[in-house]
A and B are shown apart, each in its own frame.
Chain A
Amino acid sequence: MEEAGKTVNMSRKISRRRFIKRTGAAVGVATAAPAVRAQRAQRSATGGRPFDRRTRIALTVNGAAHEIAVEDRWTLAELLRDHLNLTGTKIGCDRGECGACTVLVDGKPVYSCSQLAVWADGKSVQTVEGLTGQVGDGLPASARADLMRASASPLSALQQSFINHDAPQCGFCTSGQLMSATALLAVNAHPSADEARAAMTGNICRCSNYNHYVAATVAASQRSTQNSQNSQNRQNQNVSADSAISALNVVGDTRSQNASAGSAISALHVVGHATPRIDAEQRVSGKAIYTADVKLPGMLYARVLRSPHPHARIKRIDDSKARALPGVKAIITHETCRVVWGAGSIAGGQQYNDEMKRITKQRRYAFNNPVRFAGEPVAAVAAVDRHVAEDALQLIAVDYEILPHVLDQEEAMKPDAVKIWPDGNVSLNNRNEAQPISQRRGDVDAGFKSADHVFEDRFTTAFVHNAQMEPRSAVAHWEGDKLTVYTPTGGIANCRSDIARDLEMPPEKVRVVCQYMGGNFGNKNQNQDADLIAAVLAKEAGAPVKLELSRNEDFIGVHGRWPTTQYYKVGLKDDGTLTAIQLRGYSGMGPYRKNTGAIGGVDVYQCPNTETVVYPVYTNKTVSGNFRGPEYPQGFFGMQSMMDEVAFRMKMDPVDFILKNMTRKFRDETPYTSYSLDECIRRGMEAFDWKKKWHSAGAGQGPIKRGSGVAFLSFRAGLGRSNAVIRLDASGKYTVHVGVTDVGAGAKTTMALIAAEALGVPLSKIEVVWGDTDRCPYSVGESGSRTTIMTGDAVVAAAQDLKNQIAEKGLPRGNDVLLASASPNPQLEGKVRNTFGAHFAEVEVDAELGRVRVMKYVAVHDCGRVINPLTAMSQIKGGALMGIGMALHEDLLYDPRSGVALNAGYYGDRVLTHRDAPEIDVIFIESDDGYGPFGAKSMGEASKIPAVAAVANAIFNATGRRMKDLPITRDKILSGFEARNSGLEVQR
């Protein structure tokens, strides 16, 4: 990077992305995609008897003897889940990459997805269900005795410890974590944290609650004697705040701080106390029912055939052989299923609705022709079991005319790039114009003219997959003209209206149910094509249909964070005051516009002249969509890396630069409802020891280098409206009906706490009804970090309504009930309501081995009042760890010539494991701005946003080399090697 006027270009080396562009352009038309999964069909036709020979086996499961005839091709996981109804064992990847399916076989943890059921003949198997009550026979006697000591509780000491530490967030990985930890404790009663990490490292947690899983496991043995006391608390359904707080202390966290930026906040009697989730027991015992656990009588199993080509016209589909396969009940293709998937392509990329249905002309169907990305659905089959459905896919012959493709967003902007849509590759906005997303303030040209220094640089970010532990799935069931869809959605109400709109049905004829959900992280506040495909197949077959996506399909067939190219130009005065910021960006949307494609980050600086122009560009990669803070983690990486570099060039401490230039009013104009950025940074510096740790960039001698980085946060949650209904009966039970699904963040518990506080009753009196459109009123859905604010506000208002009614009518008696409801529409009166934060990271870089480790991490957040410090802690830690993964690892990599993703899945995408996760120190700065329920602000997305930049800036501080392209992998750390070793022959 050089100051403008001297040299503007900063990338001397050929980046990977550029290489892709070159080769992609060169061979685009000519290259036929190789056989990917879908196309292998033709090669390996089924050997297929549909109803396979069975082998009789005898095994012990959780102490009970079973004799059962199994198909040789059933996995052990399949036997447990589908045939013994032990659905606590989850399938996250079906490839031995994630650990959700971990069970104990003869006392040892194994991936049950990667063992055959026939191989378990004569074995003793223990599942999560076996931890509760009857204690595992697979364990040594001493371990069994330890577990039995917890007999006052139906839960093991470990399960109880998991609850106390809020180890499960979405809960989908929890059974596996429990089994690995149980096996560890059986052989090592007092493991260290590192021993726990090693034992559980085969268990991925995408909520990234690794700190709490480890702490819970380490504490379990120490706490076993206290266990009965804790479980007693829990059984009383009381706020076991004491045990939870002590659990937090064990974790070593900084507890919620009431030191506030403005007004000190008052203590409340339920809200603000660390409280285990009200459904925690379900999450640690395998009782929580996720979509794939739903089993209906006569249910069929569906599979989807996907395009192996990134861009192709389907000339012919011959499914006659598949139809002839015994057990196949329905097949649909683009020829037979003309259902529009409205939420899959929206002009402008905002929330889908009737108006957008009218406007959107770049339509996406459940099945499209041409197909526009490798992984796009081509056909779907429903059959009597999952294997027959898979066999049938192999028998569908598809004749493709291969079209040229383009993968990179900048390449797609070139005049000679292949047009993915007739309108061109700039995605249409909500007026159907091919225009960029633009925002201007002041006069940037004048701003640059008045600057003493002008800097320019370019940053790129990768396609990063949400990778939530629960693969997408749907179970569709028609009863007459009423359709019930079980599906993992964070917005049951929007999902229902989307399904109704797409299937042209009245919304009241659609019921959407989501009781437990294995992670959200974005783009689940609408329907999915899986919902539609399952519904159409179920209609066609006349039977309920379950469609479960494989992990690979979830990666390549759904969506991830949009990759970006960001060009910045920044002007400033000699004293470091900003005069102008300009961003020109390109976001790769895939071939449909599911979401906006914006790049956010400019607005968090105080600067009179700014210009942001971002092009959402169509490419033939997997579709991009919202992922935790949709436009921010990548935007903050670019913007705050840029500003860190500017501070370096100006010879300023990055913290001083931030304090000088950070936002104080929204876009320098609109006041915030409360403001605490100075406080966040001050507290973070102290906790991190910034003044001592930060040094001049690349100053360290020797190959092992330490460095410190900082990034800050100002974030505005989404808006929306929600309703709540509270019912009080004569027994004194308050039933709160809210349209949340609890994606893992703890919304159900949050709503219960808010209700208890607002009603002035103990938590034990509250019951929550959630996750079912037939039983819950509208909620805006769990997206945009707004559930606590919006639905929580409605709960407060409904509670007020109920209190008014009680005051008027008295408490209900006999068979009477009181029913209260609210649909508030909170207004901010000309203010902007943001949350604030600062992240500080210290990394160790081994400059010879290219290894980067995060050694210390402090995350300071002002999320207003913290409703539940226990779950809030999990949210912040998880977000920060996800950000570290985005900084260092994650990138869905495409083969330039074939346009096929190469590294889909937890193994290939290098998602963080237990061993990768550092401890995250969390500091809450609480405030009450008078809005939201008790002053609560948003939290979930915010915690990821500054993390990527903080880590990247720390690497700069350590090495003196600016990392401009995500992810910061080993090859980038070690690059520059060619210069040092010129003369080395490289094969091309």
Chain B
Amino acid sequence: MKSFRNVNPRDVRHAVTLMQQARGAGQDATIAGGGSDVLGMMKERLITPDVLVNLKAIKGLDEVKAENGPGRGVAIGGLITLDALSTHPLIRRQYGVLAEAAADVATPQIRNVATLAGNVCQRPWCWYYRNGFKCYKNGGDTCYSFAGENQFHAIFGGGPSYIVHPSDTAPALVALDATFRIVGPAGERVVPAAEFFTLPRVNAAHENILKDDEALASITLPASSAGMRSTYHKIMDREAWTHAVVSAAVVLHMNKDVCSRAAIVLGGVAPIPWRVPEAEKLLVGKRITPDIAAQAGEAAVAGARPLAKNAYKVPLTQAMVRRTIEALVATA
């Protein structure tokens, strides 16, 4: 790693200030949550910060708090570890999709340090990017996967970059209609999860709307209701420690056995968590039969545009969506 200075902020605002100060002095600054991935990228010199802002120094931003008043949902500190999140009783009980997604990330050692905010803001794991090819993500102006080894790349929303978003928790958060609290030098802003992530055609270099001197501080989930059920299914290339080849976060609001609202968000298939509204619509107002689930699977892949080597993701996604819905309905 290039020589750098570790700084310990008091709170997120202070972290933002420290980044601003560094940049003002002509230095490059990066924030680290759990740090596993950031250190890996620093070792590869994909990023070479002069200042590393260690968010782990911040106290109290790792909790799950019920918002005041009934029906107000919960606020989750961005620095909660994935292990703590996946084992949190309230999250497991009411927001299963998020607990399951967090539990599916990497390995116990990583989940013990990795943070929710860090997972959401994780840089792509495209092998061209990670190997230092001068691609869109690396300050260049091409995507090597398009004509290269693209078996793990996007079938939706690609172009000009074809990365897939690497986060497991992000599809869950989008499916839960979470909101993100972002802290910057000018103060805070709150955005819906779905608006946090950006397609490459909007900005090919970044995966989200965070500016260089902003940080994702906390995430709020709307209140869950009695009829809400959710789950996360992830396909991996071995049984642990890979990013999603394809994943599905599914949230169903059931009124007796009729679906009143549905959210289906896919991971591993697009540069952002990929919501499939046509599939959702098929479920709403219906009793979910195997046939309906199959139709939703078909609708989920409508419009897919695979690359030369990832066409297998299309039937995979289709089957996965169908099965995830079936599994969720079966838990009733």
Contacts and interface: CB of A to CB of B under 8 A. Distances in A.
B242 A910 contact: yes
Contacts of B328: none
Interface string A975-986: 101101100111
A975 B239 CA distance: 21
Given A114-B40, A898-B133, A915-B239, A981 B314 contact: yes
Interface stretch (A49-57, A513-521, A748-756, A927-935): A49-57
Interface in A469-507: none
B6 A55 contact: yes
A913 B240 contact: yes
Nearest to A74: B1
A118 B5 CA distance: 10
Interface in A863-905: 889, 893, 895-898, 900, 902-903
Given A199-B108, A202-B109, A912 B238 contact: yes
B156 to A, nearest CB: 12
Contacts of B29: none
Interface in B134-172: 134-135, 138, 144, 146-149, 151, 158
A37 interface: yes
Interface SS majority for chain A: loop
A37 B11 CA distance: 35
A778 interface: no
Contacts of B54: 116, 118-119
A895 B109 contact: no
B273 to A, nearest CB: 20
Contacts of A96: 36, 40, 106-107, 109-110
Contacts of A19: 308-309
Interface in A50-83: 52-53, 55, 71-73, 75
A47 B149 contact: no
B131 A970 contact: no
A977 B148 contact: no
A34 B309 CA distance: 21
Contacts of B110: 96, 111, 114, 202
Contact of A47 (B48, B240, B304, B308): B48
B240 A895 contact: no
A916 B107 CA distance: 13
Given A202-B109, A907-B241, A977-B315, A391 B2 contact: yes
Interface string B99-134: 000000011111011000000000000011001111
B112 A109 contact: yes
A903 B126 CA distance: 10
B304 to A, nearest CB: 8
Nearest to B2: A47
Nearest to A917: B239
A111 B127 contact: no
Nearest to A848: B319
Contact of B311 (A46, A898, A984): A984
Interface centre among A23, A180, A902, A910 (most CB of B within 10 A): A902
B316 to A, nearest CB: 6
Nearest to B112: A108
A35 interface: yes
B331 interface: no
A744 to B, nearest CB: 22
B6 A850 contact: no
B50 A115 contact: no
B131 A900 contact: yes
A672 B239 CA distance: 42
A39 B131 CA distance: 11
B311 A916 contact: no
A851 B312 CA distance: 12
Contacts of B36: 96, 111, 114-115
A49 B3 CA distance: 7
A44 B45 contact: yes
Given A34-B144, A115-B35, A970-B316, A387 B305 contact: no
B209 to A, nearest CB: 26
Given A199-B108, A202-B108, A37 B240 contact: no
B291 interface: no
B134 A34 contact: yes
A363 interface: no
B319 A94 contact: no
Nearest to B318: A848
A16 B107 contact: no
B45 A387 contact: no
Contacts of A977: 311-312, 314-315
Contacts of B138: 35
A343 to B, nearest CB: 29
B52 interface: yes
Contacts of B93: none
A99 interface: yes
A115 B113 contact: yes
Contacts of B309: 16, 19, 971
A394 interface: yes
Contacts of A850: 235, 312, 316
B35 A915 contact: no
B315 A46 contact: no
Contact of B241 (A115, A201, A889): A201
A199 B128 CA distance: 31
Contact of B134 (A35, A110, A201): A35
Nearest to A99: B109
A55 B320 CA distance: 50
Contacts of B312: 850, 970-971, 974-975, 977
A46 B239 CA distance: 39
B245 interface: yes
B307 interface: yes
B44 interface: yes
B45 A40 contact: yes
A908 interface: yes
A37 B148 contact: no
Nearest to A988: B308
B83 interface: yes
B112 A110 contact: yes
Nearest to B107: A202
Nearest to A26: B147
A317 interface: no
A35 B45 CA distance: 11
A108 B113 CA distance: 9
Interface in B9-60: 35-36, 39-40, 43-46, 48, 50, 52, 54, 56
Contacts of A981: 314-315
Contacts of B311: 977-978, 984, 986
Best-surrounded residue of A116, A198, A387 (most CB of chain B within 10 A)? A116
A387 B1 contact: yes
Interface string B296-332: 0000000011111111101110011001000000000
A889 B314 contact: no
Nearest to A895: B148
A987 interface: yes
B161 to A, nearest CB: 13
A718 interface: no
A908 B125 CA distance: 10
A849 B320 contact: yes
Q: Which 3 A-B pairs have the closest CB atoms?
A: A202-B107, A915-B239, A34-B133
17 contacts: A36-B132, A40-B44, A46-B2, A71-B3, A94-B43, A111-B109, A111-B110, A119-B54, A202-B241, A390-B1, A850-B235, A889-B238, A902-B127, A977-B311, A977-B312, A977-B315, A987-B308
Given A73-B4, A95-B43, A896-B148, 12 more contacts: A23-B147, A72-B6, A72-B52, A114-B36, A118-B6, A390-B1, A848-B315, A908-B127, A913-B239, A970-B316, A971-B312, A987-B307
Interface of A: 16, 19, 23, 34-37, 39-40, 43-44, 46-49, 52-53, 55, 71-73, 75, 94-97, 99, 102, 105, 108-111, 114-116, 118-119, 180, 183, 198-199, 201-202, 387, 390-391, 394, 703, 848-851, 889, 893, 895-898, 900, 902-903, 907-908, 910-916, 969-971, 974-975, 977-978, 980-981, 984-988
